[in-house]
Amino acid sequence: MSTPARTARRSGLRSGEAASGWLFTAPMIILLGMFLVIPVLMALWVSFSDWNGRGSPFGGTVSFVGLDNYSALVGGGGLAEQDFGTALRNNAWYVLLVVPTQTMLSLLLAVLVNRQILRGRGFFRTAFYFPSVTSSVAITVLWLFLFSASGAVNKLLAFIGINGPNWFNDPSGVLHNFLGLFGVETGPAALTGNTFLGISFWEWLAGPSVAMSAFILMAVFTTSGTFMLLFIAALQNLSGDVVEAAMMDGANGWQRFWRVTLPQLRPTLFTVLTLGLIGAWQVFDQIYTGTQGGPGKTTLTPAYLSYQAAFTNQAWGQGAAIAFILFVIIVAFTLFQRWLLAERQVSERRMRPYLQNPTSGGSK
């Protein structure tokens, strides 16, 4: 590919390519501009305005209010701040529990079904993946039934002598409940007296409510199959040589997995964690279908709160502001996690044995 050949082709055979290039991409550009870029800019304006849903947000009656909508959420001291704090707390617990669990479970499932000698491999994969194709609405309806007060889950718990909770109507936090077993009913004054975003530290530490826990189980149930497929694909792409070399060196199965296989899965692990994080901060469908934020606002999430503020309470500026804060949170978490999992230089201490004895470094 020399440069003269390229220019020659461009003038002759590839004439008119620029025009077709733009023509081919135009529909997508127009669509993305119309329904993604422009809307986001419009919403950004709305988040700085006092539009109440009537007429056009760009009409004369709508005025610029600066950061009022944002400051009401993060320091207003009113109900808006309290709701926002509650929603953040709920979703933070959800993320904290869902992301690690679904990652570990999907990796476990992938490793289990990726055995070369396994009868019914296809069946197991299908069983684990199937929940992923169903819609969140259908699964939520099913979950409401399974986790109802006298539902299948509580029947199952009764078999082993546990009196199951009234899942979707129980607003108590699971960590508070756990502490309650030891007689701790109220937190120390240092935690109950001080607040962050309108709710006390003690409330921040309540853990997910029992109702939210049911949603957490549902998220793990529906997403583990998708991520399992990503891990299976990655496992199949690994070359057997390295594992074989480790085998020759006398590493047992456990060591081979942690020291040899897992480090090679790092890119996939990164993808799964990123997708998991982004997804887990966007809980909306389940809440809209199932609980509408109840009981006791313990399943309220920022995404649902944003919808509710705008479409139900006509506080459009506030709704848009919540959406943008959520956007910033998601970007920040993704960047943080990217930094955390970034390929680091091996520290000198760990490198030393290999430097002193270079022949033991390479296995071949």
Partner 1 sequence: MSTTTRTRERTVSPSRRLRALSREQLPNRQVAGKSLLYAILIVLAMIYIAPFLIQVATSFKTDGDAASNPMSLLPQTWSTAAYERLFLNSDFPVWFQNSAIVTVFVTLGRVFFNSLAGYALARLHFRGRNVIFALLIAVMSVPGVVLLIPKFLVINQLGIYDTYVAMIVPLLTDAAGVFIMKNFFESIPASVEEQARIDGAGTFRVFWSIVLPMARPALVTIIILSFQGSWNELSHFIVATQSPELTTLTKGVASLASGQLSQGTQYPLKLAAAAIMTIPVAVMFFIFQKRIMNTTDGAVKE
Q: Which of residues 223-262 bind partner 1 (CB under 8 A)?
A: 225, 229, 232-233, 236, 247
Span between the terminal Cα atoms of the chain, in Å: 37
**Does 145 interact with partner 1 (rule: CB under 8 A)?**
yes
Closest CA to 109 of 96, 131, 124: 124
Q: Which is nearer to partner 1, 45 or 201 (CB)?
A: 45
Q: Which is nearer to partner 1, 108 or 184 (CB)?
A: 108
Q: Which of residues 175-234 bind partner 1 (CB under 8 A)?
A: 221, 225, 229, 232-233
**Does 2 interact with partner 1 (rule: CB under 8 A)?**
no
Contact predicate 171/180, CB 8 Å: no
User: Nearest approach, Cβ of 250 to partner 1 (angstroms)?
Assistant: 12
User: Nearest approach, Cβ of 172 to partner 1 (angstroms)?
Assistant: 23
Using the rule CB under 8 A, which residue among 85, 165, 208, 319 binds partner 1?
Answer: 319
**Does 292 interact with partner 1 (rule: CB under 8 A)?**
yes
The residue with tokens 């997995």 is 257
The two tokens of residue 222 are 């529906």
Q: Rounded to the nearest 10 degrees, what angle do helices 79-113 and 121-133 cross at?
A: 160
User: Nearest approach, Cβ of 203 to partner 1 (angstroms)?
Assistant: 25
Using the rule CB under 8 A, which residue among 281, 295, 298, 300 binds partner 1?
Answer: 281
Q: Rounded to the nearest 10 degrees, what angle do helices 79-113 and 68-75 cross at?
A: 80
The two tokens of residue 35 are 């329904």
Distance CA 298, CA 212 (A): 7
Helix, strand, coil percentages for the chain (3-state, nearest 5): 70, 0, 30
Only one of the segments 62-70, 112-120, 183-191, 348-356 lies at the binding site for partner 1 (rule: CB under 8 A); that segment is: 112-120
Please count the residues of this chain forming the interface with partner 1, following the rule CB under 8 A: 97
Q: Which of residues 38-57 bind partner 1 (CB under 8 A)?
A: 38-40, 42-43, 46, 56-57
Beta bridge partners of 209: 173
User: Nearest approach, Cβ of 237 to partner 1 (angstroms)?
Assistant: 9
Using the rule CB under 8 A, which residue among 196, 327, 336, 354 binds partner 1?
Answer: 327
Using the rule CB under 8 A, which residue among 72, 95, 109, 199 binds partner 1?
Answer: 109
Q: Which is nearer to partner 1, 71 or 289 (CB)?
A: 289
The one-letter amino acid at 185? E
The two tokens of residue 124 are 């197991």
**Does 300 interact with partner 1 (rule: CB under 8 A)?**
no
Q: Which of residues 113-132 bind partner 1 (CB under 8 A)?
A: 113, 115-119, 121-131
The two tokens of residue 178 are 């756990």
Q: Is 350 helix (H, G, I), strand (E, B) or coil?
A: helix
Only one of the segments 63-71, 168-176, 262-270, 289-297 lies at the binding site for partner 1 (rule: CB under 8 A); that segment is: 289-297
Using the rule CB under 8 A, which residue among 166, 245, 288, 337 binds partner 1?
Answer: 288
Q: Which of residues 330-349 bind partner 1 (CB under 8 A)?
A: 330-331
**Does 136 interact with partner 1 (rule: CB under 8 A)?**
yes
Distance CA 46, CA 40 (A): 10
User: Nearest approach, Cβ of 178 to partner 1 (angstroms)?
Assistant: 24
**Does 14 interact with partner 1 (rule: CB under 8 A)?**
yes
Closest CA to 204 of 181, 240, 173: 173
Angle at 84 between CA 332 and CA 278, to 5 degrees: 35
**Does 20 interact with partner 1 (rule: CB under 8 A)?**
yes
Only one of the segments 179-187, 321-329, 337-345, 352-360 lies at the binding site for partner 1 (rule: CB under 8 A); that segment is: 321-329
Closest CA to 319 of 59, 47, 39, 44: 47
Distance CA 114, CA 106 (A): 12
Which helix (H) or strand (E) is 200 found in, with range? strand 199-200
Using the rule CB under 8 A, which residue among 191, 282, 297, 337 binds partner 1?
Answer: 282
Angstrom distances, CA of residue 190 to CA of 82, 176, 187, 300: 19, 16, 8, 26
**Does 84 interact with partner 1 (rule: CB under 8 A)?**
no
